[in-house]
Amino acid sequence: MPSDFRLDNYLARIGYDGMVQPDLATLTAIHAAHVDAIPFETFDPLLRRPVKLDLASLQDKLVDSRRGGYCHEQNVLFKAALDAIGFKVTALGGRVRWRSSPDDPLGPREHTLLKVDLPEGPWLADVGFGACVLDAPLRLDSDAERHTAIGTYRLSETDGLFRLGVKRPAGWRTMYAFNLEPLIQSDIELANWFTSTSPLVPFTTRLVMERVSPDKRYKLIDRRFAIETRDGEVAVEQSIGSPDELHKVLEDIFNVTSPVPVEEIFVRIGG
């Protein structure tokens, strides 16, 4: 583990002051604290800014500043924290299926997720899937439904390929597919370059933000703001009508500062 990771600063950023040891209770607690404190956000891909994955840059942006990040940033940072605590963690690559039909071919491994090996067995940890951020780690075995504070998830496995599904108001929806082949840093860097630059990926043309509190999911997609409760039920939905309204949502809900004037963001997400 690189010695320049500042665990105390990270724990302060996520507001966690409990016991820190490599066990399921700690993993579950800091997973929940992370997704509540550090929102998923895609300002940098939208603004065509480089997304850096070195630990110094990640800590400067996600820990020391009022910013969030997207999947590769979130899970590389989370892995560094888990490594520092003493967990055995492996990065894996996910093939996103959120907008795919069941018959569509598999796409590239454009998402980063984590496998955490505990005495109880392997667990899936993922603080960065921006369409439906997990609020808790999930035991990595197949078939059984997993109930978290605000969601219901299901893992299936066929010939070594896992698929993670989530229950939504319209029924089950597949989040991504993955196997247990480890990713190395260069794999993550390649996926990060693709997801932050390709016009085929929505993050380069849309603002996507999400924060998960203990009982609510807050989502912003361009100018559409929504609050969801259990299993994606929409409790509040509204259109952001001005830069001032956007600024208020960023401040009050997501606790982030835009890297450019909010007026510029508002114009970019007006399509």
Parse the chain into domains and list their residue ranges: 7-201
CA contacts within 13 A on the Cβ side of 18? 14
Q: Provide the edge-to-edge strand list for the sheet that holds 88-96.
A: 138-139, 121-125, 111-118, 88-96, 171-182, 161-168, 152-158, 145-147
Q: What angle do CA 75, 81, 82 make, to 5 degrees?
A: 85
Q: Which residue among the candidates 31, 111, 135, 247 is catalytic per the annotation?
A: 111
pLDDT digits (tens, 9 = 90+) for 118-162: 999 999 999 999 999 999 999 998 777 899 999 999 999 988 999
Phi, psi of 250 (to 5 degrees): -60, -40
Q: Is 126 a catalytic residue?
A: yes
Q: What per-residue confidence (pLDDT) applies to 3?
A: 57
Residue 110 contacts residue 94 (beta carbons within 8 Å):
yes
pTM of full prediction above 0.75 = yes
- Tokens 């605590």 belong to residue: 85
- How many of the other CB atoms lie within 10 Å of CB of 216? 18
Q: Is 34 a catalytic residue?
A: no
Q: What per-residue confidence (pLDDT) applies to 271?
A: 62
- Tokens 């059984």 belong to residue: 144
Q: Which residue among the candidates 126, 132, 135, 247 is catalytic per the annotation?
A: 126
Q: Which residue among the candidates 31, 34, 44, 71 is catalytic per the annotation?
A: 71
Q: What per-residue confidence (pLDDT) applies to 216?
A: 97
Mean pLDDT, the chain cut into blocks of 10 residues (271 residues total) = 82 96 98 98 97 98 97 98 98 95 91 97 97 96 87 93 95 96 97 96 96 97 97 96 98 97 96 62
Q: What per-residue confidence (pLDDT) applies to 1?
A: 43
Q: What per-residue confidence (pLDDT) applies to 4?
A: 87
Q: Is 247 a catalytic residue?
A: no
Q: Which CATH architecture has domain 7-201?
A: 2-Layer Sandwich (3.30)
